[in-house]
Chains A and B, each alone.
Chain A
Amino acid sequence: MKQNTKKATTDFGYKEVPVEEKAEHVANVFHSVARNYDIMNDIMSLGSHRFIKKFTVQLTALRPGQVVLDLAGGTGDFSLQFSPIVGSKGQVVLADINESMLRVGRDRIIDKGNLSNISYSLVNAEKLPFAENSFDCVCIAYGLRNVTDKNAALRSMYEVAKPGGRVVVLEFSKPRKQLVSKAYDLYSKLWPVAGKIISGDSESYQYLVESIRMHPDQETLKAMFLDAGFQRCEYHNVMDGICAIHIGYKDAT
């Protein structure tokens, strides 16, 4: 976070905006993309986001009866996968800061007939309104980079995780190979164009591209996990590091 003489600012894509305005800017982006979010995901990731999400679900290592927080869960993709795993004795909380995204997710889940073990919560990831030690697992997928104060969010997630619990973060990261990096850069330049055609909004997708570039790389995020209090942290690169899945453990002792 950079400090200028008047106001503290933070990144919003490549732009610098006052800290208190980033959440509002991000909210506008997601209000705009909510309806076509899943279609755009398919286009931007060439369908691979489905496999990556499944991999993330496996890494959460959830078991029947556990309680899981699907943070920045938006359109409910993850909650729908968590729900049958934790079963009738478990609980899934779908949480998002953005009302439009949460509404799309809730409608989608109810339309699929799932009324049993998913509840909904409009929350700010930096100040989670849950009791300490509540969740066996907190999962945030493609959400952390949009949070204004990522360190505060990680600390808050650590707090609400049960001792012995874990926090799983799926996020874009830095490709390890130059060639992959170049190809990916080139491809992502097309996203705003696709966004313009499909949802008539290229700016929001331009922000997505820029925010991915500004997000900390694998090792930096790992260091942030350890700073937030996690005893152990490991990460798995996906597709050469285009995405990375970080897992932080809150030890039972």
Chain B
Amino acid sequence: MPLNLLLSTALSSAELILNKALTLDPSSKNKLRKLQGNIFAINCVNSGRSILDYSIFITVLDEGILLSPVITDEANAEISASANVLLKLLLAKDKSNIIRNENIQLKGDASSIQDLQAILLELDIDWEYQLSKGIGDIPTQTLSDGLDILKNFISNSAASLTTDIDEYVHEEKNIVPTAAELENFFQRIDQLRLNIDRTESRIDNLKRNY
């Protein structure tokens, strides 16, 4: 795959965020030191869809991690799977279940790649503490309360907006049918198909007899 600036920029942004997060969570950083010098490869293999075929290499440095699309040496551990399986693996709590059931190839020291993933997923950053170091305790508390109110407002508004749009499109404008109407329509199609099948077999029957 030709390497491009977009993938490179995406990787360096992810690297920047992860490294920033690591500096804010010293305990994870200490755990990461044990893996220092290791190189992990993640191969995304999607046969036929070359745009999604790529490899990402994670090198654990003295301070933080390095994400890269190329490497000159062999990786210590390698994991190869299709994009959706990799995503499942990333999000699942019970990883061993997915490793058993899905098409995943592991090469090298697989336990250290799981250690790395556990460290990155368990990053626990106390945002309020970090913020309070910069702007003080009381403004942080006020800001945090304000953000909570804003978050609630946004989620409530989003929910009611979804309901309103749904009602407007279905009931008022009649642009698209409602779920009940659709269900009814499909039932009638099924009934029609059955009737046609019966009529067809009846015609066949009549043809055979006369």
Contact = CB atoms under 8 A, between A and B. Distances in A.
A63 B72 contact: yes
A88 B36 CA distance: 12
Contact of A51 (B9, B61, B73): B9
A87 B12 contact: no
B92 to A, nearest CB: 29
B59 A63 contact: yes
Contacts of A166: 72
Interface in B1-32: 2-5, 8-9, 11-12
Interface in A61-104: 61, 63-65, 84-85, 87-88
A247 B187 CA distance: 64
A59 B70 contact: yes
A3 to B, nearest CB: 39
B66 interface: yes
A172 to B, nearest CB: 15
Nearest to B16: A54
B62 A58 contact: no
B66 A85 contact: yes
A51 B63 contact: no
Contacts of A85: 59, 61, 66
Nearest to B62: A87
Interface in A163-186: 164, 166
B71 interface: yes
A238 interface: yes
A58 B13 CA distance: 13
Contacts of B2: 236
Interface in A45-63: 51-52, 54-55, 58-59, 61, 63
Contacts of B3: 55, 59, 236
A63 B39 contact: yes
Given A63-B39, A84-B62, A238 B72 contact: no
Interface in A190-234: none
B37 interface: yes
A6 B9 CA distance: 51
Query: Which size bracket describes the interface of B in this complex?
Result: 20 to 34
A54 B12 contact: yes
Contact of B9 (A54, A59, A87, A236): A54
A206 B5 CA distance: 28
B69 A88 contact: no
B6 to A, nearest CB: 9
B68 interface: yes
B71 A61 contact: yes
B172 to A, nearest CB: 47
Nearest to B11: A58
Interface string B34-77: 00110100000000000000000001011110101111110000
A88 B63 CA distance: 10
A54 B9 CA distance: 8
Contact of A239 (B5, B11, B39): B5
A84 B64 contact: yes
Contact of B8 (A55, A63, A64, A87): A55
A191 B3 CA distance: 29
B116 to A, nearest CB: 16
A238 B2 CA distance: 11
Most central of B2, B8, B61, B71 by chain A CB within 10 Å: B8
A166 B5 CA distance: 21
Given A58-B11, A63-B39, A84-B62, A51 B70 contact: no
7 contacts: A51-B12, A55-B3, A63-B59, A64-B61, A84-B61, A84-B63, A87-B61
Interface of A: 51-52, 54-55, 58-59, 61, 63-65, 84-85, 87-88, 164, 166, 236, 238-239
Closest 9 CB pairs of A and B: A55-B8, A87-B62, A54-B12, A61-B72, A61-B70, A58-B68, A51-B9, A61-B71, A58-B8
Given A61-B68, A88-B62, 5 more contacts: A54-B8, A55-B5, A63-B39, A84-B62, A85-B59
